Structure formats: structure tokens, C-alpha cells
Structure 1
Amino acid sequence: MKVVLDTNIYAAAFATRGLCCDVYETCLSNHSIVIGMEILKEIRKVFSKKLKMPDEIIDRIIELIKSSCEIVIPAVIEKRVCRDHTDLHVIGTAVAGRVDCLVTGDSDLLTLHKYKWIEILSPREFWDRLSG
């Protein structure tokens, strides 16, 4: 399965040991992860500003993520698709990567449930589907 993980999934996966960490590790081992440069920029910002990680640790994490993901240029998505226009690049990444699923904790994306062929799932919904 091809998957896009939103920034909030990476933040939770690297900040704590819990569901998002399990989701990330399972995707690394058993699925193909797709990412865009804008998501990588967001990860850097969140890890620095919110999680207060040192730059050298962030650099290592970014390199790890880049080396284990397919990097794509996001497709252009119409603004009317999502109520938060800052999330359009996440949907665009999923479209460009032709993924099956977008995993996010963002309520603006989760309310869509699906975009074209792409299922938009919370970490719990994704985990339950894999376990089901």
C-alpha cells in the first residue's frame, strides 16, 4: 500500500512511543511512504519550534525520512477542496504519489474522508484497518 503521512503523524511518532510511532514503523516495514518537500519543511519547523529538538537531531531525522520515502512534487489542488488551504499540499502530495491512503490527525483533512481514490484516515482508523 502507498501512504502519505501528514506532519502531525511524524511529530507524534518521533516525540512519543505510541500509536503514531507504531503506524510509522509499520509503514516503513510493510508499505511505501510518499512525501513532499513542503511536508519535510513542516516537519523541520514543528520539530524545532514545538518539540525544541536540536538542529543536528532534526537533520538526522529528515535524512532518515528522505531516505525511506518516495519524494514527489505535489499536484495542484483547487482551493475549494479543503477548508484549510494550508493543507492543500498534503492532498497534492497524495495525488502526485498516487497513494491509497493519507494518514492524518488534522480535522480539516479528516472531514473529507476521501479525495478522489485516496482514503483519508486517522491513525486509529489506519491501524484498525491494518489489524482488521
Structure 2
Amino acid sequence: MRILYDTNVLVKILSRRESILTFKEDVKKGTINISSRHILNEVETVLVEKLGLTKQKAKIAARLLGRQSTIVDPQHIERVCRDPFDDYILAAAATGKAKYLVTADKDLLVLNEYKGVKIVKPVEFRQITKN
């Protein structure tokens, strides 16, 4: 299964040990995580600015995520959302042929689906992967 975690979800995963373990288990089960340099850079920034990590630790965390992901670089970004970064997230999910975009962003969740990518909350995604 191909999935793209939004920045807000990736930061939450990195801030909780049990979430990191679940993420690793998903990878072992064959889940393919889709990401991009842009998303990983934003994760790095948020880890420093909001969680107080040093730049070095944030860079290491972003690199580790990158190693567990298939990196895409969307070439065409449609204007769909209020926030241009949300448009980038949608384009990355579509470019990477993700089945799910996992996010807590209300502006993305309201769309429900974009170009065949189902947009779900983390709790919904956990239910999907349990079944």
C-alpha cells in the first residue's frame, strides 16, 4: 500500500515513541511511504521551531524518514486549496500514486479524495490498516 503522511502527521510520529514503532511496522509489512524533499524540509523546520530540537537532530530525523520513503518531485501543481503548500501535498500524493494521504489538516480532509488518493485522518488510517 502506498501512502503519503502530511507534515503534521510525520512530526507527530517523530514526537512519540509508540508512533515510530508503528511506522516501522508498517514499513516491514510492505507499506510504501511517499514523501518529497519539500515535505522533509518542512518536517525539519517544524521539529526545530515547534519542538525545540537542534538543527542537527532535526536533520537526522528528516534523513531517517527520507530513507524509509520513496521520494517524489511533483512537476505540475494544481491550485486546489487555500494554502499553496496543501496543493503541493496533494500533488506529491498524486505523483507518488499514493492510495492514502494521511493528514490532520482540515483543508485537506474536506476534499475526501484527490485524483484517486483517499484523504483520511490518522485514526481512520489506523482502522484501515488493522483490517
What TM-score comes out, normalization by structure 2 length? Answer: 0.90
Query: Residue in 1 aligned with 2:51?
Result: 51
Deviation at 1:14, TM superposition (A): 1.2
Give CA deviations for 1:45-101 in whole Å, capped at 9, x if unaligned: 10010011012211221221111111110242321x223222111111111111111
2:34–2:71 Cα contact (<8 Å) kept:
yes
On the 8 A contact 2:78/2:91 being kept in 1, the answer is no
TM-score by length of 1: 0.89
Q: How many residues align?
A: 130
Fraction of identical pairs, as percent: 29
Distance 1:107 1:84 in 2: 11
Q: Secondary structure at the match of 1:4?
A: strand
Structure 2 CA distance for aligned equivalents of residues 23 and 112 of structure 1 = 26
Q: Secondary structure at the match of 2:35?
A: strand
Q: Any stretches of 5+ residues in structure 2 without a counterpart?
A: none
SS in 2 for 1:43: helix
**1:2 to 2:2 alignment:** yes
8 Å contact kept, 1:27–1:33: no
Cα RMSD after superposing both structures:
1.6
Secondary structure, aligned partner of 1:105: coil
Distance 1:26 1:6 in 2: 19
Runs of 4+ in 1 over 6 A off after TM superposition: none
Deviations 1:3-59 (A, max 9, x none): 1011111111111245x5465334322200010111011101100100110122112
Is 1:37 paired with 2:46?
no
- State the alpha-carbon separation in 1 of the partners of residues 108 and 63 from structure 2: 26
Counterpart of 1:94 in structure 2 is 93
Question: What are the ranges of 5 or more consecutive residues in structure 1 without an aligned counterpart?
Answer: none
Q: For the structure 1 residues 34 and 95, does the alpha-carbon distance in structure 2 shift closer, same or farther, using more than 3 Å as the test? A: same
Check whether the contact 2:47–2:53 (CA below 8 A) recurs between aligned residues. Answer: yes
